Structure 1
Amino acid sequence: MTSILVLTEEALTAHDVERIATLHGTDQVSVHLLVAPEDRRDLVDALDDVALGRLPGRGRPDGVRGEQAVEQSRDALAARGLAVTAQLSGGDPVAEAAGAATDEIWVVTPPHLVEEALHRDWASKLRERTGRPVLHFVSGTDRVVS
């Protein structure tokens, strides 16, 4: 069984759930979902908002966060037949993800153009901290950032 840690900041989309459920074909997959609490806002986050045409500090208008994102995502993954545990991060989501004993680490987020360009995104930080490969998907799409 392949175990995947999925780090996200919003509820997974139907597309994200389908990708997680099918990427390993017929192999059994278990997922540990870690949802980061509300955005930590800093200058880089504000620049990302501006670069993507969002009002600074507002995030995505359709974003579901926190416990609701944990519940929605957990239920959607379980409905696809995956073994899933899910939780809201209690602190630094990168540190929690780095400490997870899983086969793979996936980051699924909306675009963060400035963070990605400066390698301050979660996937880059996780690669540095763990020395392991990390897949970074743009939520709701097939776009792999790195």
Structure 2
Amino acid sequence: MYTILVLTEDALTAHDVARIAALHGDEPVQAHVLVPVETHAPTLVDTLDEVALGRLVPRTELRSDPSGYAQTALDASLAALSEVGVQAGGELAGDDPVGDAVTAATRADEVIVVTAPHLVEEALRRDWASRVREATGKPVLHVVAGTDRVVS
């Protein structure tokens, strides 16, 4: 069975789930989903990303319940993947989601990173996908959540 590690900031959208399910045709796929618990306030780079995307009032505070938010996103993603026939498991990632993804990637055939656009990090190749690719050498697909846009 083909194993995909999915690293995502938020719950997977129906579009993202359909893409993952169809990516390898009729080959049976299982997914392991990682959702980080955001425990730090947004940084200058986060703020620059928000402004670059036209959000003139960027989010500057930490979510009130980061662990609850991440668990809800994980549960929703696992349920959605299961509904379309993808065997799915997952866990919450810690303060270093890339490090957790690198560790989990040892058991995966490929990695899919699903995020909102992060223009500054992508331009500097410091986004999650670039960092996981550098650390593992595994195939990494980076897509913008809910769209057909492939970043790398």
Q: Can you list the C-alpha shifts for 1:12-45, whole angstroms capped at 9, x where unaligned? A: 0000000001111111000000011127421111
Scaled by the length of structure 1, what TM-score is found?
Answer: 0.91
Tell me how far 1:86 sits from its aligned partner: 1.6
Structure 2 unpaired stretches of 5+: 62-67
User: Could you tell me which residue of structure 2 aligns to residue 117 of structure 1?
Assistant: 123
Secondary structure class of the residue paired with 1:144: coil
| 1:81 equivalent in alignment to 2:82 | no
2:99 corresponds to: 95
Matched, 1:137 2:149: no
Q: What residue in structure 2 maps to residue 44 of structure 1?
A: 45
Question: 1: CA distance between counterparts of 2:51 and 2:139?
Answer: 30
1:104-130: per-residue Cα shift (whole Å, max 9, x none)? 011000111111011110001111211
Structure 1: distance between partners of 2:20 and 2:9: 16
* Local SS of the residue matching 2:142: strand
Residue 91 of structure 1, CA deviation: 2.9
TM-score (norm 2): 0.87
Amino acid at match of 1:144: V
The alignment of Structure 1 onto Structure 2 pairs a total of residues equal to 142
Instruction: Please state if 1:12 is matched with 2:12.
Output: yes
Tell me what 2:71 maps to.
Answer: 67
Q: Which moved more, 1:2-11 or 1:40-49?
A: 40-49
1:56 aligns with 2:61: no
Q: CA RMSD in A?
A: 1.7
Query: Hey, which bits of structure 1, 4+ residues long, moved more than 4 A?
Result: none
Letter in 2 for 1:46: T
